[in-house]
Amino acid sequence: MNFKVYRDDWGIPHLRAGSADALARAQGWNAAVDRAWQIEVERNRFQGTSASFLGASAAGWDRFARQARLDDTARRCFEALDESTATWVRHYVAGVNEGMSEGVRRAPQFAETGLVPRPWEPWVPLGIWLGAHVLFAGFPTKIWREEVARALGDDAVELFSAEGANGSGSNGWLVGADRTAHGAPLIAGDPHRPVEDPGVYQQIRLACDEFDVLGLAVPGVPGIAHFGHAGSVAWAITNAMADYQDLYRERLRETPGGGLEALGPEGWRPVRAHTETVEVAGEDPQEIEVLETDRGPVVVGGRGDVEVLSLRTPPRVTSDLGFAALPALLRARTTGDVDRALDGWAEPVNVVLAADTAGGLLHRVAGRVPRRPRENLLRTVPAWEAAYVWRGWRALPRAAVGAVAVMANERGVAEPLGVEFAAPHRAARIRELLGARRMWTAEGMASVHMDTRLDSVRPLLAAVDRLDGLGEAAAGVRSRLAEWDRRMDANSAEAALYAELRAAVVRRLAAHPFFDGLAKAVADGDWPDELLPWTAFTPRVGFALEKLLGSAFLPPGDVTAAVRGALEEVAAERAGSGRREPVWGDRHRLAPWHALPGGRYDTAPEGGWPGLSGDHDCVLATTSVPGVTDLSWRGPSARYVWDLARRENSRWIVPLGASGTPGDPHQRDQLPLWLTGALAPVVTDWHKLTEETPHDDR
């Protein structure tokens, strides 16, 4: 092997090679050895072949991946790369193929499922990226808003606009040099994604003659896209909540020869059609017809339907996923370098913070957003009307950086680009916390990461406070909530009490007759299984609760009655239970996603998955679904602090561990730290690392 592999005490890989291409090969090899099962699952998911070994539960995703043409888009994007970037990606893929046999030996899931990996094609890393982010912008929400408009009227189309359980958010913040103990900026934050086993982010260090960068990589993808520290410059991102994918209503007709045509602005045009077969372990294969109009692949409906929905995305239109930015980021030395690299970024659209040791600061949106009417952002639009055609690309906004800068998926620098943003609570709370201390260190950032104050409680508690004529038990619950510190701590009985009340209010509002038509429409909707979470009715009510409590659509008396009924319901249940009073962590427990749910290697730690502090709108954003479940499967999928004064002062953590191999000492050894907010040190001294001897399968 023409590279070396080192590990720190947490098993985190530090890779060294003589050139950038050799280092890409090393990174691919390491991904295969440490995360073979994970990256093979992700490869099969974007290629629509995962049901062949995961069974019927994966067939819905495979159908969607085929219909959305993820594999073909990845291939097109790879073929359009400049030669230098394409060569770099090929080296990564070669490393994956060289390391896969050792990774398979380490990962028992292959034997459990009978999966035999195939050699990777050079575009697989681009496909893994597409598969992970195709739903990132939440295009299925347009189906939901269409149903809202039909059932409640056009005025209600944004009634439920709120960041929901299916989004992917993040916190991120920058503290300027004047506010840090060591006289250089700090960048910190945490991406909010489903907590997966193994994790979606891999701590890694990549060093060669050209650069030495550490950060959080996505297994199966070369480089360090989202969170990195190159010594003289560091960067981080959050989801911009931009809208850059459109759903078009398409009218189809059959031609005399058995083909199809779709009606566009210029008349009837041919539809590209072919048939594919989805293999399903233990069941008969499923045959699907893949259709594509001039707008994009058809993802809802098919031949014989009066109307279908096609999906238009920037990478499908331009054959550019922005991958040339990845090697450019590794070579960045200043914020100007980061800025120029991200000029070529495409998907997903992100808000970026960066700082360098020369005083450079950066706060911008990066990605590709089409220019089109606002109606395209809100709802499905007719494919046959020229008004809804894309007309070039939007200039992306920037913002100045003061003493601090915060990004938390709220409106702000990205506001012109989207519709549904996170409530302002996380961003406001982070600014408040950062303003409360004069000098910050990397170690001190844990107090921000782990903050559990829930400011979104105000409308509901205010509604409770206005109630009169309560019985003794209900009045007692109200008194306890009035004295509560509004922190969603795992050991808090009042936090559990509030969660019970909130869930009861959500269920009662969801059952209000005003919503009967909408609830029935979304329940009866004939949409692909993978899009259903965006149209589930009760979760939509839960995440829009703040807005609904003050909405003019519901009579105030009915809202008051729902709150009163919920309070009395919770009080009665508590009074008659005779059990130990629960705390929030009893209900709010970690529930990681596993590709083989219930399999031999889907095992919880001894004592079960732990209870969690935090909640959806806390800085410690551990998401559940009010009114449905308090289990949390989405939260901080990593935490980081980048110190520009001394990189070795930096800190990082992931929910489980560095290894994706069941039983490995580093599979879940970071979980205790993650639960308490502790951060593992970043080791930069090669002499403090342990060199290992890679097994060469070539």
A 10 A CB-CB count for 695 gives: 13
Each residue's pLDDT tens digit, 50-91? 999 999 999 999 999 999 999 999 999 999 999 999 999 999
User: Smallest Cα–Cα separation from 295: which of 321, 272, 322, 274?
Assistant: 272
Statement: residue 296 has pLDDT above 50: yes
> 653 versus 605: which is more confidently predicted?
653
Asked whether residue 159 falls in the same domain as residue 257, the answer is no
CB of 349 closer than 8 Å to CB of 368? yes
Per-residue pLDDT band at 167 (split at 50, 70, 90):
low
Residue 157 within a domain: yes
Domain range for 257: 246-312
> Does residue 432 lie in a domain region?
no
User: 451 in helix, strand or coil?
Assistant: coil
pLDDT of residue 586: 97
pLDDT tens digits for 113-139?
Answer: 999 999 999 999 999 999 999 998 899
Q: Does residue 590 carry a pLDDT above 90?
A: yes
What confidence score (pLDDT) does residue 694 get? 63
pLDDT (0 to 100) of residue 275 = 98
Last residue of a domain, one of 312, 334, 360: 312
Report pTM. 0.96
Average confidence (pLDDT) over 476-495: 97
Residue 452 has pLDDT above 80, yes or no: yes
Rounded Cα distance between 533 and 519, Å, is 14
Per-residue model confidence (pLDDT) at position 686? 97
Q: Which of 23-32, 42-51, 528-537, 646-655 has the lowest mean pLDDT?
A: 528-537
pLDDT, position 693? 77
Q: What is the pLDDT of residues 543-571, one digit of tens each?
A: 999 999 999 999 999 999 999 999 999 99
CATH number of domain containing 254: 2.30.120.10
Residue 630 lies inside a defined structural domain of this protein: no
From 168-172, 314-318, 533-537, 600-604, the region with the lowest mean pLDDT: 600-604
405 bridge partner residues: 174
Q: How confident is the model at residue 698 (pLDDT cuts 50, 70, 90)?
A: very low
Domain total of the chain: 2
Using an 8 Å Cβ cutoff, are 401 and 179 in contact?
A: no
Residue 463 lies in a domain: yes
Contact partners, residue 656, CB within 8 Å, separation at least 6: 195, 197, 198, 199, 592, 667, 668, 670, 671, 674
- Dist CA 104 CA 107 (whole Å): 5
In this prediction, residue 165 carries a pLDDT of 59
70 within domain boundaries: no
The pLDDT value given to residue 580: 85
Name the 3-class secondary structure at 274.
strand
177 in any annotated domain:
no
Residues 157 and 252 in one domain: no
Q: Are 291 and 298 in contact (CB under 8 A)?
A: yes
Which residue, of 582, 603, 628, is where some domain finishes?
582
What local confidence, expressed as pLDDT, does residue 695 receive?
Answer: 57
Is there a domain that residue 652 lies in? no
Per residue in 321-356, pLDDT (tens digit) is 999 999 999 999 999 999 999 999 999 999 999 999
Task: Examine the domain organization and report whether 473 and 577 are in the same domain.
Answer: yes
H-assigned helices in 204-259? none
Last residue of some domain: 561, 582, 603?
Answer: 582
Whether 458 and 577 map to the same domain: the answer is: yes
- CA-wise closest residue to 105 among 95, 89, 94, 116: 116
Which residue shows structure tokens 């003050």? 550
Q: Is the pLDDT of residue 697 over 60?
A: no
Nearest to 659 by CA among 648, 651, 667: 667
Of 494, 530, 516, 503, the residue nearest 616 (C-alpha): 503
Per-residue pLDDT at 411 exceeds 90: yes
In a domain, 258, yes or no: yes
Residues 472 and 577 in one domain: yes
Q: In angstroms, what CA-CA distances link 255 with 252, 258, 289? A: 10, 5, 16
Question: In angstroms, rounded to a whole number, what is the distance separating the alpha carbons of residues 186 and 184?
Answer: 7
Residues 158 and 251 in one domain: no
In Å, how far are 206, 208, 354, 684 from 229, measured between CA atoms? 11, 15, 10, 11
Q: What percent of the chain has pLDDT over 90?
A: 91
pLDDT at residue 642 is higher than 50? yes
Q: Which tokens sit at 91? A: 């080296």
Distance between CA 187 and CA 179 in Å, rounded? Answer: 12
Report the mean per-residue pLDDT for the chain. 95
DSSP string, 365-428: EES--B---HHHHHS-EETT-GGGS--SBPPPPB----SEEEESSSSSTTGGG-S----THHHH
DSSP secondary structure string, 107-172?
-THHHHHT--PPPPPTTHHHHHHHHHHTTTT-TTHHHHHHHHHHHH-GGGTTTT-S--TT--EEEE
Residues 158 and 271 both lie in one domain: no
Could you report the per-residue pLDDT of 184-198, keeping only the tens digit for each? 999 999 999 999 999
Cα separation, 356 vs 334, in Å, equals 6
Hey, CA dihedral for 449, 588, 170, 230, is it positive or negative? positive
Place of tokens 């602090």: 641
Show the tokens assigned to 443. 């170690």
Mean pLDDT of 575-597: 89
User: What is the arithmetic mean of pLDDT over 217-231?
Assistant: 98
